[in-house]
Chains A and B, each alone.
Chain A
Amino acid sequence: MSQDKDIPLAELRRAQPRFSGFEAGHRACLGCGEALAARLVTESAGPDVVYANATGCLEVFTTAWPESAWRVPWMHSLFANAAAIGAGMEAALKAQGRSTRVIAMGGDGGTFDIGFQALSGMLERGHNVLYVCYDNEAYMNTGIQRSSSTPHAAVTTTSPAGRERMGKRHLKKDIVSIVAAHHIPYAATASVAYPADLRKKVRRALAIDGPTFLHVHTPCPLGWGHDSALTIEIARLAVQTGLFPVIELERGGVAGVMPIREQRPVSDYLRLQNRFRHLFADDVRAREELEHLQALADHNIERYGLRPGHEADPLDTEGADTVKRGGVR
């Protein structure tokens, strides 16, 4: 069954009933979580926003000159300076008396690592900038090297598993706590598996005057070694296991969490990804690391109070992705 050739797709595309800041024809891999997240962020933020984008996959796959997937004013400068570029944009717009908002964004490398100082400076100075981190937990653009966001025990090309190592030896940096420690009005985590929550958080952040931060978990089929169709499933499991807590922090304090209605064992999440395949070998160290990751998930749940209340919360891990006939979300 092929579609009718006469359908005016280009016309239809222009008439989509949502704001389109991010266009088709970009060169992201199949099932790219970051592409999806960026699309959702631009859609939610609307047209009156200027973007600063750190070097990384998102920048590369959207802007292979002379083409651009962006329909919003967008600038990429360098790997480390997205937050500073955003700060400069914001200062300029403020000086010009414009209400246009600024979103700075980068991957985990550009946020947790190389761009961390510029981010800290931007937050400390109180710029009216939303910083969005698309976290795919390694340097994917350069070929899957470990970052400070890579989870413990995950395999990357610079944290391989072997006779002496079980993948990354160190823990994933707790970026959102560090960011929140800047006493900013709003810092939150979100996942591509929960688009409605993600959109709400973008809008919430943009409604706040002052620096805000959104940390979005975005699976990378290539880097994590999973089927491209599983991006959402895996992102959802990261939340449902407790490995990626979905939380909101206001002025450093927990202001909201997505409760986990039914906690899934971390192995449900890990076994779908090649980067954790070594943890399922018949090996005493593998079993220990599995337990370690389970303990980390349990710790997150304890720490943020992610256990459900007595009544099912419509915004918990089971309720938050509910769809309705007619697409009301």
Chain B
Amino acid sequence: MRQALEGSQAIARAVSLCKPQVVSAYPITPQTHIVENLSRLVADGELECELVSVESEFSAASVALGAVAAGSRAYTASSSQGILLMAEVLFNIAGLRMPLVLTCANRAVSAPLSIWNDQQDSMAVRDAGWIQLYCADNQEAVDTTIQAFRIAEQCELPVMVCVDGFTLTHTLEVLEMPEPEQVDAFLPPFRFARRLDPDKPLSVGTLVSPEYFTETRHDHHQALRDATDIIVQAQQEWLTISGRDSGGLLRQSGPADARTAILTLGSIAGTLEEAMEAHGTGAPARLIVLRAFRPFPDQALRDACQGLERLIVLERALSPGAGGIVGSEVRAALSALDRPPRVFNFAVGLGGRDVPLEIYPRLLDAVDAGRGSDFDILDLDPSKLPAEDA
């Protein structure tokens, strides 16, 4: 059904269609609308679940973990500081191989305090062992949320659905909400073999000695690698049911023969697509939208980058002292190509700075001007820097 919905509301409804039995969350901007909407659905009797409004994100993640361990489908959402407060639990959830879904309404991380969007938060926990899927728009957020439960439960891994805060969560868009029957056909009820069950009691969360720890890490790594197929497969099936493509591991648009490509993730993709549409088929660059950041789809990326001369990686976070996070990983992945493209790397839109349509030409100009060959912040205004940094 086509509806005009705020992103958070749409995500909440998508979650609701997946019938989680336990939802646990703690308020933080810009995640709040998602949880508020879920609370409303529960209050109105549209969603039957245990809604646990906890005293911290640390407990939000823990409650969700406890719920999954006890055999229930569980969901939580957070942002920024909340994600970091959860960090210890996030690693734990993944190491325990517990399938649950978390929406990260991406936001900058303090200090200085910023409540606005960038992706520093989810990037900070990229090594937690979760699947991370980034959404370009709210339709993708809806579809990815539904797929996330399926992927999580099939892989027995947690999935973080990353949605840019405000840019998506607080934006009204016309989108297609799936019918409950569609979701039911796609997502079977949650049956967790390792459920804590008095009839077949397991001990979960043990101490593993150096003799075995390496193998557990390998196993976890391999499970994430193996998840690439499941992500693709889930996308394909959902496409069959819904008729919508939400991007698989990555998707491409624009002229296939362009020798320059721009790779990005999240809502910037939508901005760039709109800008590229203005150029029609004569666009100077094509677009690669990375949806799966973990597992990192290195093979799909290499396939997409075959024959490219230049690849511009545009991201909304950085690793201070090193540079781009996504850019570094892309460079590493492409180094396996015989003739890898030259990789340019920019951060943009930090702490909620607007990323306008003009980003597209400016980006190409900047590359032509030799910027970004290592790493640059594209929209930096040097005039604001103190003398010693200018």
Direct contact of A and B (CB under 8 A): yes
Residues of A that sit less than 8 Å from B by CB: 47-50, 52-53, 59-60, 62-66, 68, 70-78, 80-81, 83-96, 100, 117-118, 120-122, 124-125
Residues in B whose Cβ lies below 8 Å from that of A59? 205, 207
Residue of B nearest to A85 (CB): B66
Contacts of A90 in B (CB 8 A): 66
With contacts A77-B62, A91-B67, A92-B21 known, what are 11 further pairs, Cβ within 8 A? A70-B201, A73-B197, A74-B204, A84-B54, A84-B63, A88-B24, A88-B63, A90-B66, A91-B50, A117-B59, A121-B55
Q: Do residues B55 and A92 form an inter-chain contact, with CB atoms below 8 A?
A: no
In the complex, the 3 A-B pairs of residues with the closest C-beta atoms, listed nearest first: A88-B66, A121-B55, A84-B62
CB distance from A28 to the nearest CB of B (A): 13
A88 with B207: CB separation less than 8 A: no
Output the residue of A49, A71, A78 with the most chain B CB within 10 A: A78
Q: Which residues does chain A contribute within 8 Å of B67, judged by CB atoms?
A: 88-89, 91-92, 95
For the complex, what is the distance from the CA of A73 to the CA of B202, rounded to whole Å? 5
B88 touches A84 (CB 8 A): no
B49 within 8 A of A: yes
Whole-angstrom distance between the alpha carbons of A77 and B59 in the complex? Answer: 12
Do A77 and B49 touch (CB < 8 A)? no
Q: Which of these, A80, A100, A124, A125, contacts B198 with CB under 8 Å?
A: A100
Taking a contact as CB atoms under 8 Å apart, the answer to whether A75 and B72 are in contact is no
Contacts of B68 in A (CB 8 A): 88, 92
Residues of A within 8 A of B66 (CB): 52, 75, 77, 84-92
- Minimal beta-carbon separation of B356 from chain A (angstroms): 42
Q: Which residues of A contact B59 (CB under 8 A)?
A: 81, 83-84, 87, 117-118, 121-122
> Does any Cβ of A come within 8 Å of B196's Cβ?
yes
Report A-chain residues with C-beta under 8 Å of the C-beta of B198.
Answer: 47-50, 72-73, 100
Kindly provide the distance from the CB of B235 to the nearest chain A CB, expressed in whole angstroms: 29
Could you say which residues of chain B place their CB within 8 Å of the CB of A52? 66
Residue from B62, B196, B202 within 8 A of A81 (CB atoms): B62
Q: List 14 A-B contacts (CB under 8 A).
A: A62-B203, A65-B209, A76-B204, A77-B92, A77-B205, A87-B52, A88-B69, A89-B66, A89-B196, A92-B66, A92-B69, A96-B70, A117-B59, A121-B56
Q: Do A91 and B63 contact each other (CB < 8 Å), given the known contacts A65-B212, A100-B198?
A: yes
* B330: interface (CB < 8 Å): no
Would you give the shortest CB distance from B389 to chain A, in whole angstroms?
39
Contacts of A91 in B (CB 8 A): 21-22, 24, 50, 52, 63, 66-67, 72
Chain B nearest CB: distance from A74 CB in Å?
5
A78 in contact with B204 (CB, 8 Å): no
Nearest chain B CB to A242 CB, angstrom units:
34
> Closest CB of chain A to B230's CB: distance in Å?
24
Q: Is A50 a contact partner of B196 (Cβ separation < 8 A)?
A: yes
| A63 and chain B: residue at smallest CB distance | B206
> Once the chains bind, are A95 and B49 in contact (CB under 8 Å)?
yes
| B134 CB contacts on chain A under 8 angstroms | none
Known contacts A64-B209, A72-B198, A77-B62; is A121 also within 8 Å of B22 by CB? Answer: no
Residues of chain A contacted by B89 (CB below 8 angstroms): 77-78, 81
Q: Which residue of B lies closest to A52 (CB)?
A: B66
Q: In the bound complex, what is the Cα–Cα distance between A216 and B172 (angstroms)? A: 54
B64 at the A interface (CB under 8 A): yes
Which residue among A71, A73, A80, A84 has the maximum number of chain B CB atoms within 10 Å of its CB?
A: A84
